[in-house]
Amino acid sequence: MKGVLSEKALREVNDKGFVRTGIRVPDSVLARVHETYDRMAPSDSNWSLFYVKRLTSSREFPLRKVHDRARWAYDYVKALARKFPLREVHRRARRAYDKSIFGFSEALPLVLRECLSQGLACHLGDIPLLVGHDIYLEHDRHKKTFGFHHDGFGWDIFYQSDDDLSFYIPLVDLTDSSGGRLLVETRPSRSVLYEDRNDWISRFAAYCRKYQATDDRGLVTRQTVEDSPNRRTIAKEFERLLGERRALPRPTADDMSLIDASRGEVVLFCNKRFHDIEPWKLDVPRAIYIVRCSPLYDFGMAPPATFLNNAPCNRFLLDGCRGTLSPFNAETDMARAIPVPPEFLAADG
Ligand SMILES: [Fe+2]
């Protein structure tokens, strides 16, 4: 994550897995977050669409044999998506969260501008961050939550990196007595997932270029792959690369840092490393607001403007050097993309 975070923040994240920014989103802005999501119904939850909207399809790819617990959850939701109508998938997905809403809410720029006004730039490096989307998660103590996992390279997100940065902002106090605290890999630089860093996504982009799945700018996009006559071949490669990553060993409980955080506090961590949530103990709901960003790396790929249920995404650029948040223009701003560190670049072809 060199260049994504400042040197001090990088030392902090390499030492304990997260950055405590000292920023606290004030109640007036948190009220806007609440207003935004209070207006939305649990049925607006859309994370289950990650399992429905895949590059692969059931006709082309039969269910894999379930061979471990991690794959069980993955295959279970995939099976649901095939067996039941979408509404049923959503209903069953809500066993994990009452609300799990991914998009680009009106609260997002308010929160990030507040962070900038409280000195966010001193925690960031010189690589511009593409502000991908925000997430609202709400659940009571009977829900399962996502559990121990790392955020995979979801197809519908498409543009992402191994150095993605999450702004984790609890909307309730998270303490020993409340439970519900976030756990992250203590030393992400030693993570098994760190070794392949951005290599595999570079290899995937190269593979797509080999099969001419590019637009008139020569960039690989989600649409060019989906429209490609070689879609099936590319989908197999994508699944193979994901499988390689899933097969890597996992950290143990001893390797995880437990994070106490107060309501509105801003914590940064990399969601591509393993993380977990401890059980929630209170009768009131636990609510979390997250903003996901990706460094603007030049993978030869361009980000989509919508995802899941046509929710907007990738609409702002956060510039740590300038301390600014500005609208993202995919046509012109990709020229500002930073080359992926050369030691992790794959050969093209
Ligand atoms: Fe996650």
Q: How far is the CA of 83 from the centre of ligand 1 (A)?
A: 26
Q: pTM for the complete prediction?
A: 0.88
Determine the distance separating the centroid of ligand 1 and the alpha carbon of 149, expressed in angstroms: 6
Measure 27 CA to ligand 1 centroid, in angstroms.
25
Average of pLDDT values for 88-99?
Answer: 75
How far does residue 126's CA lie from ligand 1's centre (Å)? Answer: 25
- Report every protein residue that has its C-beta within 5 angstroms of ion ligand 1: 151
Distance between Cα 214 and ligand 1 center (Å): 30
pLDDT of residue 196: 64
- Cα 326 to averaged position of ligand 1 atoms, centre (Å): 26
- pLDDT, tens only, 281-305: 999 999 999 999 999 999 999 999 9
Q: What is the pLDDT of residue 195?
A: 58
**Residue 68 reports pLDDT greater than 90:** no
| 164-216 confidence digits (pLDDT tens) | 999 999 999 999 999 999 999 988 777 666 656 788 888 999 999 999 999 99
What is the whole-number distance in angstroms between the Cα of residue 278 and the centre of ligand 1? 13
- Looking up tokens 């989509």, which residue turns up? 304
* 188 alpha carbon, distance to own chain's centre: 16
User: What does the pLDDT read at residue 282?
Assistant: 97
Reported as a pLDDT band with limits 50, 70 and 90, residue 348 is very low
Ligand 1 center to 145 CA (angstroms): 10
Mean pLDDT of the chain: 87
Residue 170 CB contacts under 8 Å (≥ 6 apart), including other chains: 261, 262, 263, 264, 265, 287, 288, 289
Q: Top-level CATH class of 7-344?
A: mainly beta
